[in-house]
Amino acid sequence: MSRTDRPRREFAAALLGTLAGAAALLAATGQTWAVARVGAAGPTAAAEVNLAGDDTAPVAAAIGWVALAALAALLATKGWARRGLGVLLTAFAGVALLDVWTGTRPAALVRAVAARATTEGDVSGPALEPGWPLLAAFGAVLLLGAGATTAIRGAAWPGMGSRYDRHSAPATVRAGDPAELWKSLDSGADPTVAPAPGEDPDGAAPATASHDNADAKEP
């Protein structure tokens, strides 16, 4: 891998990590993480309460949406602004990981069951289903890695559309040869734009009449 390809590969990896981490958080927090039963007084049967991820780890669920917004911001920013975004993404990922951990503790699950239960009674369980919390934690770790990489290396990555930035694009090329047209497109020039007045279509300076020819025309 050449040095010129390395920043692009790092940038692509950070984008994929952010997308995968956000998708894992959003998918996991929308699923059932724990099931409990609340026994009411009397002959009434115990009521079953299902706890979703956004019930036990609501902050982690919100950070999944924040990470999707950060994905668009990674594409739109560059330089130190992108590095600052990486620091924020790293901090949010750490908060999401902590929220998943604390939200799956037994005491936190009991409080979540009591908040969702429609009847008052003794809470039995809750039984944690570890698969979805582990997926959420994995998503937070992916965001943590993508954010840290962006904070360290993001300033060296290319910006969106920098190749066709009008301030850095070469002069307009007008050529009849299809190969030249393709070369101009590849270099960022727009071959459909008419050349400036006095400019030769091939980019050369216009020819001027010599002093001798001008004298010859005089009577």
What letter would DSSP give residue 172?
A: P
What integer pLDDT is reported at residue 209 of this predicted model?
46
Say whether both 128 and 185 belong to one domain: no
87 burial via Cβ count (<10 Å: 0-12, 13-18, 19+): middle
- Mean pLDDT on 115-120: 68
pLDDT digits (tens, 9 = 90+) for 36-50: 877 666 566 667 788
Instruction: Give the pLDDT score at 216.
Output: 45
Q: Please check whether residues 134 and 168 belong to one and the same domain.
A: no
pLDDT tens per residue, range 184-211: 666 656 555 555 555 555 544 444 444 4
Q: What is the percent of the chain with per-residue pLDDT over 70, rounded to a whole number?
A: 63
Judgement on whether residues 202 and 102 belong to the same structural domain of the protein: no
Residues 207 and 115 in one domain: no
Q: Which domain holds residue 12?
A: 5-160
CATH for 133: 1.20.140
- The whole-number average pLDDT for the span 125-130 is 82
Q: How many domains does the chain have?
A: 2
**Tens digits of per-residue pLDDT, 55-95?**
899 999 999 999 999 999 999 988 899 999 999 999 999 99
Asked if 88 contacts 69 with a C-beta cutoff of 8 angstroms, the reply is no
Tell me the whole-structure pTM to 2 decimals: 0.67
Residue 181: which pLDDT band, with cuts at 50, 70 and 90? low
Q: How far apart are the first and last CA of the chain?
A: 71
**Does pLDDT of 13 surpass 90?**
yes
Angle between the 80-103 and 5-29 helix axes, to the nearest 10 degrees?
Answer: 30
32 and 124 share one domain: yes
pLDDT tens readout for residues 128-175: 888 999 999 999 999 999 999 999 998 888 876 554 444 444 444 454
Q: Enumerate the H helices of the chain as residue ranges.
A: 5-29, 53-56, 58-76, 80-103, 106-116, 131-153, 178-187, 211-217
Q: Give the pairing type, strands 32-39 and 47-52.
A: antiparallel
Name the region of 125 (left: φ>0; alpha: ψ -120 to 50; beta: rest). left
Give me the pLDDT at residue 84, please.
94
| Half-sphere CA count of 107, side-chain side, radius 13 A | 1
Angle between helix axes 58-76 and 80-103 (nearest 10 degrees) is 170
3-state secondary structure of 144: helix
Q: Confidence class of residue 29 from pLDDT cuts 50, 70 and 90?
A: very high
